[in-house]
Amino acid sequence: MKKRLSAALAALLILGGCAPTFEKQDQVVQENQDSESKKAIIPNFQISNDYYRTMLPYDTSKTRGVVVNDLGSRYDINEIENGLLRVAQNRFSTNEYFFKEGQFLTKKMVDSWLQRKYTSEQLAEKGLKESENLGLNPVQTKGEDAPIYLAHIVEHNYLMKKKDDNKVTLGGVVVALSLNSVNYETNLSTGTRAVKNISNEVLKEQGAKMAGEVLKRMREKEDLQNVPIMIALYKQAPKQQVVPGEFFAYTTVDAGASTIGDWEGVDEEYYIYPSPQAAENHPNDNKIFQELKKEIENYFPVFTGVTGEALYQNNKMAKLNLEVALTFNGKTETIGFAQYLSNLIGKNAPESWEVELLIQSSYGPEALVVKKKGSKETYMHIYE
């Protein structure tokens, strides 16, 4: 599906163009792990409990931009960030913690961890020292099949406000290990490439092993010795797939602990509508989508295409992003069409669904309709 506005930005637009007020925002002292403490601002405005507040000025990650190079699909680039925010909420409440991009893992550090582990002979051939042998992917020797399991690492920080003074401090760190779901093997003699799927069992085994080493290295940092660290495992989608991958497990290590205990499962999966997979695995939801699609396409005498991307959590529809390709015939017609769709979504979509419907033409986005979870009420925004 085409790129659409995030739910956060959409919600802002739906509020009729009203910007959040910062007149009553809190000014705090952020205890900086790298240098002196500095002043920061905590905006009081929060879209909903589904989103973390961030402090101003906004600090970007030290690995900013690396994800684009390491992940094979543009769908995974967005999902590993958004999905990690959802996983983090299992430990860090949006009411008590503030989000900050990762500040501890540097680009150089992540690049070195994504390499293979080398034997002493391979180190000598490459002119590297043992102290530089930091790769988390398995050693590969001649004639041996050793997949690259680890594709990328993402870090998020969560800050909390102290009760007894006007200071915020690091409350926890969440790290995602993005794992390849397929292994591409090239036959050097024939030049052909074979694609082999990597099972969830193997990914969890390899991911858990790498997570233990990541935890050990992070605990070596003085500022991370006494904070909770959560590590989540993400299964990256194959390059040709048109939906993102998903998180499938996470573990939380308490402050001061240096070993990983139990892993918790994450039951999330994406489906494209319409598709044979969605029809087979979620026939009732597919029926609702097909009815919506039919009514939308019957509205105009000219064809309008309808596609959807659905997020399922615990085998239930959590969010549906719809996109309608409209043959643009004027603003008045677009407004009428958007009003019709707004009513249609409110009437037909189950209350438990969160729905974002983007009306798109060759000129760009024309209108946005949103229905929040737990409500039949819809909101509409017309782009000028």
pLDDT value, residue 8: 39
With contact defined as beta carbons under 8 Å apart, do 230 and 251 qualify? yes
pLDDT value, residue 14: 38
Residues 6+ apart with CB under 8 A from 231: 174, 175, 176, 177, 211, 214, 215, 250, 251, 253, 260
Separation of alpha carbons 232 and 179, rounded Å: 11
pLDDT per residue rounded down to tens, the chain (384 residues) = 544 444 434 443 333 334 444 445 565 556 655 445 667 777 766 667 888 998 888 888 878 666 555 566 678 888 999 999 999 999 999 999 999 999 999 999 999 999 999 999 999 999 999 999 999 999 988 767 789 999 999 999 999 987 777 788 999 999 999 999 998 776 656 667 778 899 989 999 999 999 999 999 999 999 999 999 999 999 998 888 888 999 999 999 999 999 999 999 999 999 999 999 999 999 999 999 999 999 888 877 666 789 999 999 999 999 999 999 887 668 888 899 899 999 999 999 999 999 999 999 888 899 999 999 999 999 999 998
| Domain segments of the chain as ranges | 7-266, 271-382
Of 196, 197, 201, 254, the C-alpha closest to 225 is 254
Q: At the top level of CATH, which class does the domain 271-382 belong to?
A: alpha beta
Residue 224, CA distances (Å) to 108, 115, 142, 215 in order: 19, 24, 39, 10
Separation of alpha carbons 195 and 209, rounded Å: 24
Q: Domain 7-266 adopts which CATH fold?
A: sex pheromone staph- cam373 precursor fold (3.10.570)
pLDDT value, residue 10: 42
HSE-up (13 A, CA, CB side) for residue 380: 17
pLDDT value, residue 76: 86
Domains 7-266 and 271-382 share a fold: no
With contact defined as beta carbons under 8 Å apart, do 166 and 160 qualify? no
